[in-house]
Amino acid sequence: MISMNARRRALAALGTIAVAGLLATPGARAQDTQVLRIVPHSNLAILDPIWTTAYMSRNHGYMIYDTLFGTDENGKVKPQMVESWTESPDHRLWTFKLRKGLEFHDGKPVTGEDVIASLQRWGKRDAMGSALMQFVSKMDAPTPDTFRIFLGEACGFMLEALGKPGANVPFIMPKRVADTDAFKQIDDYTGSGPYVFKRDEFKPGDKAVYLKNARYVPRNEPPSGTAGGKRVYVDRVEWNLALRDAQAQVNALKKGEVDIVEQLGFDFYESAKTDPDLQIPRYTNAGLQYMARFNHLHKPFDNPKVRQAALAAFQQEPFLRAQVGVKSLYKPCYSMFICNTPYGTTAGSEVQAKGNMRKAQELLKASGYDGTPVVLMKPTDLPSIQKLPDVAAQLLRQAGFKVDLQAMDWQTLVSRRAKKDGPDKGGWNMFLTAFNTFDVWSPIANPTADTRGEKSGWFGWASDDKVQELRNQFMRATDEATKKDLADKIHVRMYEIGTHAPVGEFDQPMAARKNISGFFITNNNLYWNLKKN
């Protein structure tokens, strides 16, 4: 017979086991699947990387799609899906052969037809793509693993365009998907990239899941930028889209609930650096560039002399010190095409590089500035750039400008900057933003170098025939020396007319747990080659 005490003890033990079982977390259970848990820099909403230029959509694209060419860490274009290619002596016929073993996630082979459809769709959306398509007279696929591009006249940026690392990236999709109207979003996410998108597990604002693509055949070269072998060593990658509070991200990383925080706040840099469980991996040698954009349509910045005065006032160190703060993460650079990149040059930048407040005041006086206030838009909800407008306002005031600093949320800013109305009718004079360096390092891709005035693609609507003429020559130049020379001339002219003011370059730190290895220079947020030990 069991005594009352024994029965109570048995019941208590059973109760303890039950509670322990109830509270046992899935994380505590043995798991064979290796999961890389990443906190991306923002929310993933749009799954079509051709439809939008949003960086999150671009990064999603790199997970599931492959590209014909990649751009390595030094800005050199290297083959990716392409095995070999030839260029006719007159540069008007390009023949590309695809690598063997390229397959979409549904098991179908990647063919030249798929490539052509993908390039056509991309050419309708992307600035560089549409520039390329102006030269293209025909594309065909004589064999399943070959495609040809016929040009009406020679152009010098074929590979640069096909290997473009920044949004919109010419990702290759199956023809049935790429045939979707370029102005409608796709709803089939079949790619041929290193990961397969788990559509059924995607919860907007919560998580996005990618599985290792077992069919993917990586190149043999080591990974570098968006080029080289895309080897996947984990079974599953989870993007935590709900974790967006900067402090909570760091807490989760410290606790080991996530493996990588893509964008570590500058305020957390020092503490993460000294944490024994964390690392700050180096993944970029180009970083990002801050810039101040003038609205060329309205007073006072419709006057190039006034823009010159602002350029002279905009010394970069105050911007970088205020916004980044960590000296090792920023560098002043007076190149609109980014220092240490293929077309990086400082030619013509003296007005800003050697400028000072006294010079700015003199230039402003000489410009005939009539005291029109500068409507400067300040985003209050974007910590990554929100201090820049305060610095700009202060420097402009010191130079003699009247400044109307208007606070708003970022989405109001992006809506308002598209308005061409005068500042008194809901328009604007200046805003500041940041660009990934490879979005601005080429005179073709750089949106501020588009100077077609009101027809111009990018907000601010700079107008200058000379820059346009030089860009046209650049597009047609087929040798590197000429291209570099033209890039210099474009740069000089852009500074002369003051398209915008670069206000410094910086590295956006990433933080990871110490057990993650395999980071490489991507100049981007790419998640192959990573091992979880």
| Contact pattern for other proteins over residues 300 through 329, marking x by CB under 8 A | ------------------------------
- Scanning 218-226, 248-256, 296-304, 358-366 for contacts with other proteins by CB under 8 A, the matching segment is 248-256
**Smallest separation (angstroms) from other proteins to the CB of 206:** 4
Member of 179, 277, 370, 381 binding other proteins (CB under 8 A): 381
Q: Using the rule CB under 8 A, is 420 a contact of other proteins?
A: yes
**Smallest separation (angstroms) from other proteins to the CB of 301:** 18
Distance of CA 213 to the CA centre of its chain: 24
Q: Using the rule CB under 8 A, is 435 a contact of other proteins?
A: yes
Q: Using the rule CB under 8 A, is 86 a contact of other proteins?
A: no
Are residues 491 and 172 in contact, defined by beta-carbon separation less than 8 angstroms? no
Give the Å distances, CA to CA, from 341 to 78, 286, 424, 442.
Answer: 16, 8, 40, 9
Member of 171, 369, 459, 528 binding other proteins (CB under 8 A): 459
- Scanning 132-140, 292-300, 316-324, 410-418 for contacts with other proteins by CB under 8 A, the matching segment is 410-418
Q: Using the rule CB under 8 A, is 134 a contact of other proteins?
A: no
Q: Using the rule CB under 8 A, is 439 a contact of other proteins?
A: yes
- Scanning 20-28, 292-300, 462-470, 473-481 for contacts with other proteins by CB under 8 A, the matching segment is 20-28
- Scanning 50-58, 141-149, 272-280, 360-368 for contacts with other proteins by CB under 8 A, the matching segment is 50-58
Q: Using the rule CB under 8 A, is 244 a contact of other proteins?
A: yes
Are residues 151 and 131 in contact, defined by beta-carbon separation less than 8 angstroms? no
User: In terms of CB distance, is 84 or 415 closer to other proteins?
Assistant: 415
Burial class (CB in 10 A: 0-12, 13-18, 19+), 61: buried
> Sheet holding 260-261: strands in order across?
195-197, 207-212, 236-240, 35-39, 260-261, 511-513, 278-279
Residues of this chain, 145-184, that bind other proteins according to CB under 8 A: 166-167, 183-184
- The footprint of other proteins on this chain (CB under 8 A) covers a number of residues equal to 62
Residue identified by tokens 């980071």 is 519
Q: Using the rule CB under 8 A, is 412 a contact of other proteins?
A: yes
Neighbours of 204 (CB within 10 A): 12
Token readout for 253 is: 């990383």
**Smallest separation (angstroms) from other proteins to the CB of 11:** 20
Which amino acid, one-letter code, is at 356?
A: N
Q: What is the 3-state secondary structure (H, E, C) of 120-142?
A: HHHHHHCHHHHHHHCCEEEEECC
Among 56, 33, 44, 36, smallest CA distance to 436 is for: 56
What is the separation, in whole angstroms, between the first and last Cα of the chain? 53
Token readout for 414 is: 């992006």
- Scanning 110-118, 348-356, 450-458, 524-532 for contacts with other proteins by CB under 8 A, the matching segment is 450-458
Give the Å distances, CA to CA, from 250 to 253, 256, 263, 476.
Answer: 5, 10, 10, 48
Sign of the Cα pseudo-torsion (408, 263, 70, 238, in order): negative
**Smallest separation (angstroms) from other proteins to the CB of 96:** 27
Member of 38, 50, 55, 477 binding other proteins (CB under 8 A): 55
Q: Using the rule CB under 8 A, is 45 a contact of other proteins?
A: yes
Q: Alpha-carbon distance 423 to 374, whole Å?
A: 8
Q: Alpha-carbon distance 316 to 298, whole Å?
A: 25
- Scanning 45-53, 133-141, 493-501, 514-522 for contacts with other proteins by CB under 8 A, the matching segment is 45-53
Token readout for 39 is: 């906190």
Q: Using the rule CB under 8 A, is 407 a contact of other proteins?
A: no
- Scanning 77-85, 115-123, 198-206, 331-339 for contacts with other proteins by CB under 8 A, the matching segment is 198-206
Q: Using the rule CB under 8 A, is 425 a contact of other proteins?
A: no
Q: Using the rule CB under 8 A, is 43 a contact of other proteins?
A: yes
User: In terms of CB distance, is 368 or 457 closer to other proteins?
Assistant: 457
Q: Alpha-carbon distance 450 to 296, whole Å?
A: 13
Among 199, 271, 216, 210, smallest CA distance to 240 is for: 210
**Smallest separation (angstroms) from other proteins to the CB of 228:** 25
Nearest 5°: phi and psi at 272?
Answer: -70, -35
Burial class (CB in 10 A: 0-12, 13-18, 19+), 283: buried
Residues 6+ apart with CB under 8 A from 1: none
- For the chain, give the longest Cα–Cα distance: 107
Q: Using the rule CB under 8 A, is 259 a contact of other proteins?
A: no
User: In terms of CB distance, is 58 or 78 closer to other proteins?
Assistant: 58
Which amino acid, one-letter code, is at 12?
A: A
- Scanning 246-254, 352-360, 500-508, 515-523 for contacts with other proteins by CB under 8 A, the matching segment is 246-254
**Smallest separation (angstroms) from other proteins to the CB of 357:** 30
Residues of this chain that interact with other proteins (CB under 8 A) are 21-26, 43, 45-47, 52-55, 57, 125, 127, 166-167, 183-185, 187, 203-207, 240-245, 247-248, 251-252, 254-255, 257, 381, 408-412, 414-418, 420, 426, 433, 435, 439, 447, 456-459
